[in-house]
């Protein structure tokens, strides 16, 4: 390959060239020719290829012009070693025996071009200039590729940073979504709670429902909701959900108002109280210890406006986890709904109590119409309570029994004076009139829906277990159970009280009669219960006059 004469090659400036030829004359001639061709070129000449390698190592060269055939080191080997030293070194071969084979070999070794001896100055100048130009272009391209690679690495690093930021943003978004879902679920649960308690007006039912709901949201042994009486500043009624087997019953009217203790503390301060250990806490009242003997307590006030109407108590064992903010939030999220509902139910309850008080006044007035029946209802109530205790009746039935005992003879208000205060034994017709008091009393209470059960008890309190009683001649289990209890209590007081036409029986005589008529006039279980009551207790009631 020879340089074309038609090509226009401009000189490269500031080039340093090493000429290597074992013939000193040729080396000098070529070097001189190149210096003349371009004065900006710095040209060195060397006859020993090994010494030429040392020069290449020591200095910076742009072009090697070398003979291919030399005795100590061939031009091709020299060129390969020189390229190892200078990556972008232009290689130009000088040969006197140009052949296709030597040309291919030289090109494979990295030579860019060659000049054939004998050569003219212009050809030499053009060939070296072109080779310099080519390798410098290659160097420039390599540099650009390097910069491109560096730019690519920067881009990849930027992409990695962006991906990391995207991952963080995605994570935040997921957390935010989960938080939002939890909030929506909380709102939905509160709405479900609101729907479930709407319309529940019985205080006991409502407190029990609230306790159930709280117990289902917070892990615990039991959950309790206690009514707080603001006027007395004391606890009154407690309803417990999920009680342990050995704990107190689900529904408890407190034996006495509880003016201090952890429940009142929460109610008065309006703040949650946490008891880490019931056994060692000084805040827990002795009466409260009957409900919670050991473990942990979380007490949360249930407000309505600025007043605490109830408190929620969550009970955990000492081995369980301590109560945390999450537990408090679960309960307090419900209290804004429960508070107004409890207040409404309590108002309804108070109204019913006032109605009952009015009815008791009517019943007492009816009782006082004759001189023989004064205090009767009070004593019947006391006997009935002893029977209920012996029979272990549930608290809800005891409540109904209390009202029914007080009002059982309210129908006497409808009985004519002639029959009420008849001297001596009643006539057949008068008995028929007197017997109407059971039916009249039931009818009197019938319009009051909340006293529906009490009305049926009053109607049945003169029925006989064997079906010979009045007004409906019901028998056995047909008669309301609490009516059978009042039947025994009523008969005991009637037998032990004097009447215009007879003397009072002694307590023993009356009890003997009840035992004898058990299963006939009297319910066997109620009769057995009164017979098992200590005689002192009965005598005390009989003597009290009430």
Residues at the contact surface with Fe ion, assessed by CB under 5 A: 409
Q: Which is nearer to Fe ion, 3 or 415 (CB)?
A: 415
Distances (CA, A) of 166 to 153, 170, 173: 20, 6, 10
**In contact, 279 and 290? CB cutoff 8 Å:** no
Q: Considering beta carbons, is residue 115 or 445 the nearer one to Fe ion?
A: 445
| Cα dihedral across residues 409, 411, 412, 413: positive or negative | positive
Tell the smallest beta-carbon distance from residue 336 to Fe ion (Å). 49
Residue tagged 């979380």 (tokens): 298
Residue 507 · residue 536 · CB < 8 Å:
no
Judge whether 280 and 185 are in contact, CB under 8 Å.
no
DSSP state of 411: G
Angle at 223 between CA 207 and CA 401, to 5 degrees: 45
Q: How far is the CB of 462 from Fe ion (least distance, A)?
A: 6
Residue whose beta carbon is closest to Fe ion: 409
Residue 248 and residue 240 in contact, taking contact as beta carbons nearer than 8 Å: yes
Look at residue 63 and give its three-state secondary structure. Answer: strand
The least CB distance from residue 411 to Fe ion, in Å, is 8
Q: Quick one: the chain helix, strand, coil %, rounded to 5?
A: 55, 15, 30
Cα–Cα distance for residue pair 38/224, rounded to 1 Å: 108
Q: Which of 388/438 has CB closer to Fe ion?
A: 438
CB of 215 to Fe ion, least distance (A): 44
Q: 409 or 463, CB closer to Fe ion?
A: 409
Residue 21 or residue 490: which is nearer to Fe ion going by CB? 490
Q: How far is the CB of 457 from Fe ion (least distance, A)?
A: 11
Pairwise CA distance, residues 8 & 238, whole Å: 111
Query: What minimum distance in Å lies between the beta carbon of 485 and Fe ion?
Result: 14
What distance in Å separates the CA atoms of residue 362 and residue 368, rounded to the nearest whole number? 10
In the bound complex, what is the minimum distance in angstroms from residue 415's beta carbon to Fe ion?
A: 11
| Closer by beta carbon to Fe ion, 38 or else 409 | 409
> C-beta of 195: minimal distance to Fe ion in Å?
45
- 17 versus 541: smaller Cβ distance to Fe ion: 541
Measured distance CA(236)–CA(310) in Å, rounded: 10
Q: Do 52 and 26 contact (CB within 8 A), yes or no? A: no
Q: Are 267 and 311 in contact (CB under 8 A)?
A: yes
Q: 403 phi and psi, to 5 degrees?
A: -65, -45
Which of residues 348 and 470 has its CB atom nearest to Fe ion in the complex? Answer: 470
In the complex with Fe ion, the residue whose CB is nearer, 367 or 409, is 409
When the beta carbons of 335 and 377 are compared against Fe ion, the nearer one is 377
In the complex with Fe ion, which residue's Cβ is closer, 22 or 409?
Answer: 409
Rounded least distance, CB 412 to Fe ion, Å: 8
**Sheet hosting strand 113-116, strand order edge to edge:** 42-46, 16-20, 63-67, 90-95, 113-116
CA distances from 55 to 64, 416, 472 (A): 11, 149, 138
Rounded least distance, CB 461 to Fe ion, Å = 6
Kindly state the smallest distance separating residue 288's Cβ from Fe ion, in Å.
42
Three-state DSSP class for residue 95: strand
How far apart are the C-alpha atoms of 164 and 157, rounded to whole Å? 10
Report the chain's C-alpha Rg in angstroms.
Answer: 57
CB of 408 to Fe ion, least distance (A): 6
Nearer to Fe ion, 333 or 504 (CB): 504
Residue number with CB closer to Fe ion (288 or 409): 409
Angle, helices 524-532/507-516, rounded to nearest 10 degrees: 150
Q: Which of 32, 11, 12 is CA-nearest to residue 21?
A: 32
- As measured in angstroms, the least distance from the Cβ of 413 to Fe ion is 12
* Cα 457 to Cα 448: distance, rounded to the nearest angstrom: 14
Give 357-390 as a DSSP string: HHHHHHHHHHHTTSSSSTTHHHHHHHHHHHHHHH
Q: How far is residue 317's CA from residue 520's CA, in Å, rounded to a whole number?
A: 52
């Amino acid at each position: 390959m020879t340089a074309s004469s038609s090509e226009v090659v401009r000189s490269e400036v500031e080039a340093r060239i090493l000429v290597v030829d074992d013939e000193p004359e040729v080396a000098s001639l070529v070097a001189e020719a190149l210096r003349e061709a371009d004065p900006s070129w710095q040209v060195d000449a060397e006859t020993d290829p090994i010494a030429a390698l040392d020069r290449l190592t020591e200095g910076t060269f742009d072009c090697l012009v070398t003979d291919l055939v030399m005795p100590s080191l061939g031009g091709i080997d020299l060129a390969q070693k020189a390229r190892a030293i200078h990556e972008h070194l232009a290689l130009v071969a000088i040969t006197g025996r140009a052949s296709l084979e030597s040309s291919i070999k030289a090109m494979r070794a990295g030579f860019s071009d060659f000049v054939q001896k004998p050569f003219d100055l212009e050809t030499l100048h053009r060939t070296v200039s072109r080779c310099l130009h080519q390798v410098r272009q290659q160097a420039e391209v390599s540099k650009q590729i390097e910069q491109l690679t560096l730019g690519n690495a920067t881009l990849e690093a930027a992409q990695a940073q962006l991906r990391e930021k995207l991952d963080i943003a995605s994570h935040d978004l997921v957390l935010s979504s989960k938080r939002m879902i939890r909030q929506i679920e909380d709102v939905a649960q509160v709405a479900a709670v609101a729907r479930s308690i709407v319309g529940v007006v019985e205080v006991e039912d409502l407190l029990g429902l609230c306790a159930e709901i709280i117990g289902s949201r917070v892990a615990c042994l039991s959950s309790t909701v206690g009514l707080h009486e603001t006027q007395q500043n004391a606890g009154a009624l407690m309803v417990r959900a999920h009680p342990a087997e050995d704990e107190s019953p689900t529904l408890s009217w407190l034996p006495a108002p509880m003016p201090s203790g952890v429940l009142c503390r929460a109610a008065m301060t309006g703040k949650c109280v946490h008891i880490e250990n019931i056994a060692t806490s000084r805040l827990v009242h002795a009466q409260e210890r009957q409900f919670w003997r050991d473990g942990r307590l979380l007490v949360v006030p249930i407000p309505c406006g600025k007043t605490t109407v109830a408190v929620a108590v969550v009970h955990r064992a000492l081995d369980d986890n301590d109560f945390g903010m999450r537990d408090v939030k679960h309960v307090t999220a419900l209290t804004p709904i429960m508070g107004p509902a409890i207040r409404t139910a309590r108002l309804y309850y108070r109204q019913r109590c006032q109605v009952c008080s009015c009815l008791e006044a009517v019943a007492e007035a009816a009782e006082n119409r004759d001189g023989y029946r004064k205090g009767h209802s009070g004593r019947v109530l006391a006997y009935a309570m002893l029977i209920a205790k012996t029979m272990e009746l549930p608290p809800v039935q005891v409540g109904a029994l209390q009202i029914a005992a007080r009002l059982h003879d309210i129908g006497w208000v409808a009985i004519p004076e002639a029959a009420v205060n008849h001297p001596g034994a009643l006539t057949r017709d008068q008995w028929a009139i007197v017997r109407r008091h059971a039916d009249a009393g039931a009818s009197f209470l019938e319009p009051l829906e909340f006293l529906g059960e009490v009305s049926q008890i009053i109607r049945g309190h003169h029925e006989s277990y064997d079906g010979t009683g009045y007004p409906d001649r019901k028998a056995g289990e047909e008669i309301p159970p609490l009516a059978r209890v009042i039947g025994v209590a009523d008969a005991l007081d009637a037998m032990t009280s004097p009447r215009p036409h007879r003397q009072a029986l002694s307590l023993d005589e009356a009890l003997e009669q009840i035992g004898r008529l058990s299963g006939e006039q009297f319910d066997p279980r109620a009769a057995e219960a009164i017979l098992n009551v200590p005689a002192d207790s009965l005598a005390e009631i009989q003597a009290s006059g009430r």
